[in-house]
Amino acid sequence: MSTEQTPSHRQQPALLEAVAELEAVVAAGDDVRFGPALGPVGGLFGSAAPEERAAAGPRLAALLPDAPPFPRSHLAMVVGACVEHGADPLACAGPVLAGLRGALTGARVLARRWAETGGGPLPDPEEDDPAEAHERIADPALLDEWNAHLAVAGWWTLHLWQQASWAVYAHAPVRAEARAAGVTGVLVELFGRYEGEQHDFKGLTHLALMLDEEPLLVLDRPTGTGYLLRMSGLSDTFQLHTLLADVLIGGGHLPGARQDPEVVALARDAFLDGRRLIASGAFNLVAPDGSWLWNEGTPSDLPVLDGVRTLVLEPLPYERSWSAGRFIQEVPGDLRLERVLDPAEAARWLARTVPGKSTAEAFR
């Protein structure tokens, strides 16, 4: 009997073989072959074994700095998919976040040059021709051909870099390392300075600023008590407010109305199911200097006092309520009580704070 396999039974090319071919193309500096070599990587991803996807992620991420500007963003998307399927997020994050920074910088250059060359609606990456945008913004005296190309590529691919960056920022070790290295600070500053109309960075900003295993000192002015807690995965101060009420009022440490258990579950790890549940405010959140801390912010806004983020609770000046849930649904939130401060310790901390500003002062 012949041992020759029929075409339908021949072994299909493996994902890592396609990765090796792409690595060879990048090593050769062959930009023309980059796109054709990247295609099989994406095509084989869906049928690849989990261990192949995990192994491919860091290897593909290492190619990002030397990849051509436009297809580089599609490679970043594949890296993000690898991370979502088990690749080491820390090994992949650096080149992805560097690529996001480059795309942001390029997009800001395009927006500036667009204004300098007549203004009007910025180009639509889905509808407009990048070659026409390049022709409009390039100027030998102000923006050479290569930097004009980078600007157009940044504008046209920024949404892809956002998605790839979301995949890595969804992991706590990446958030911690990027924050410690100053990467997140730079990116958040660029988000704030961005003037484009087609891109919204609110979600990615909240995700990037998310704190994990972060100590939190909470002082309750009406009772004179204090609490050391630890928070992780909280994407906004609405979520923190809900969980503070659950832990401190629900735990019997402070007086007040308990939060609805379903509202608390949505702030922790439950998913919205189409119903609109309402969370109710329990405190006024105040910084040690007496300024109000708004629910619309993030826990990273809480000031640091002697190395620990510190929050003072005061009575509500007026009723507050908001839609229950987590702003970043993909990340579960956690707030847990580590210890209750003894009365003398709580009094010492409270003595270093000032009462909250009046309503009129807070709204100035």
pLDDT of residue 196: 60
Alpha-carbon gap, residue 215 to 308, rounded angstroms: 6
**Distances 230 to 194, 271, 318, 339 between C-alpha atoms, Å:** 33, 23, 28, 10
List pLDDT tens digits, range 172-192. 999 999 999 999 999 999 998
Residue type, 216: L
Alpha-carbon gap, residue 316 to 319, rounded angstroms: 7
Across the chain, what does the average pLDDT equal?
93
Residue 322 pLDDT > 70: yes
Mean pLDDT of 346-358: 95
Q: Dihedral sign for Cα 56, 100, 72, 38, please.
A: positive
- Helices 172-180 and 89-116, packing angle to 10 deg: 60
> Predicted confidence band at 274 (pLDDT cuts at 50, 70, 90)?
confident
Closest CA relative to residue 267, chosen from 246, 284, 252: 246
Query: Do 355 and 314 touch, CB atoms closer than 8 A?
Result: yes
Q: What is the 3-state secondary structure (H, E, C) of the chain?
A: CCCCCCHHHCCCCCHHHHHHHHHHHHHCCCHHHHHHHHHHHHHHHCCCCHHHHHHHHHHHHCCHHHCCHHHHHHHHHHHHHHHHCCCCHHHHHHHHHHHHHHHHHHHHHHHHHHHHCCCCCCCCCCCCCHHHHHHHHCECCCECHHHHHHHHHHHHHHHHHHHHHHHHHCCHHHHHHHHHCCHHHHHHHHHHHCCCCCCCCHHHHHHHCCCCCEEEEEEECCCCEEEEEEEECCCCHHHHHHHHHHHHHCCCCCCCCCCCHHHHHHHHCCCCCCCCCEEECCCEEECCCCCECCCCCCHHHCCEECCEEEEEEECCCCCCEEECCCCCCCCCCEEEEEEECCHHHHHHHHCCCCCCCCHHHHCC
pLDDT of residue 5: 43
Query: Do 253 and 320 touch, CB atoms closer than 8 A?
Result: no
pLDDT of residue 275: 83
For 319, how many CA atoms within 13 A lie in the half-sphere containing its CB? 5
* Percent of the chain's residues with pLDDT above 90: 90
**Distances 59 to 44, 78, 83 between C-alpha atoms, Å:** 15, 11, 12
Spell out the domain ranges in the chain: 9-208, 214-362
pLDDT of residue 4: 43
Residue position matching structure tokens 């849930």: 325
pLDDT of residue 94: 98
Alpha-carbon gap, residue 154 to 106, rounded angstroms: 5
CA dihedral 254, 260, 264, 270 (to 10 degrees): 170
List pLDDT tens digits, range 281-297. 999 999 999 999 999 99
> Predicted confidence band at 358 (pLDDT cuts at 50, 70, 90)?
confident
pLDDT of residue 364: 75
List pLDDT tens digits, range 41-88. 999 999 999 999 999 999 999 999 999 999 999 999 999 999 999 999
pTM to 2 decimal places: 0.90
Beta bridge partners of 231: 214, 335
List pLDDT tens digits, range 6-27. 443 335 469 999 999 999 999 9
Query: Do 327 and 235 touch, CB atoms closer than 8 A?
Result: yes
